[in-house]
A = this chain, B = another copy of it.
Amino acid sequence: MTFESTKSLSASLEDYLQAIFWTAAAKGAARAKDIARQLGVKASSVTGALQTLAEKRFVHYQPYEAITLTAEGFDEAARVAQRHFIVREFFVTVLGLDRAVAEEEACRTEHCLGDDIAERLATLMEFVKAHPDMESGVSQLLAERYRSAEIPAQVRRGLVTVADLRSGQKAVIVAVRSGGALARRLVDMGLGRGALVEVEGAAPTGDPIRVKIRGYQLALRRTEAAVISVVGK
């Protein structure tokens, strides 16, 4: 028996499939050489991939002959290409990425996002395009923030601090951003780089904030909490 169990393709094989998809669309069929050039691999790697794809019934392959996709191969390739397209357009039109960068990032991302998420991204894009005020609002905010490439990303966006965490959320402290005395006091309480904090709750006014650290409870003033940068769990 030993049926083809594996339903899904590796990122690498998805790229081979797409290369064949686009070449066959343009020229009717693909040759190993075309694929090798497009993917930047050696011809022998192409042969190997084709044998695997043929075994999985995604391509019509006979040694030395031109390569075409089976119906399943075409469907699979079209789905990957669709993800590629949606993700790239999202990066460009919503996130304001440079087209070339977006193309490259999309070609990686296409393999790890499900069709589901791609569909939702497309819907989000539609929505944004249908509301020009939002489109311009988003792009303006992004442009402002990412204009100068020198400023490190974390400073640009402003790090999340303990003051931003919701109740029950856990996070790791990455920095205590304050001068000597306060910083020392916080670190002495256990609130140093690398420590895990959990927000227990806050007073109705939002001040003080109750946190748990190393099993102990602490109450922090909002101004203190706002000085502790974290990465959330």
Contact = CB atoms under 8 A, between A and B. Distances in A.
Interface of A: 21-22, 24-26, 69, 74, 78, 81-82, 85, 91, 94-97, 101, 105, 108-109, 111-117, 119-124, 126-127, 131, 134, 137-138, 141-142, 145-146, 153, 156-157, 172, 174, 193-196, 231-233
Given A25-B194, A81-B231, A113 B117 contact: no
Contacts of A196: 22, 25-26
A42 to B, nearest CB: 21
Contacts of A120: 95-97, 142, 146
Given A119-B157, A122-B157, A127-B137, 6 more contacts: A22-B233, A25-B194, A91-B117, A95-B117, A111-B112, A127-B138
Contact of A172 (B78, B94, B108, B141): B78
In the complex, the count of this chain's copies comes to 2
Nearest to A68: B194
* Interface pairs A-B: 7 shortest CB-CB: A25-B196, A95-B120, A25-B172, A108-B112, A85-B232, A119-B153, A82-B231
A141 B112 contact: no
Contacts of A78: 172, 174, 231
A232 B21 CA distance: 12
Contacts of A122: 157
Contacts of A85: 231-233
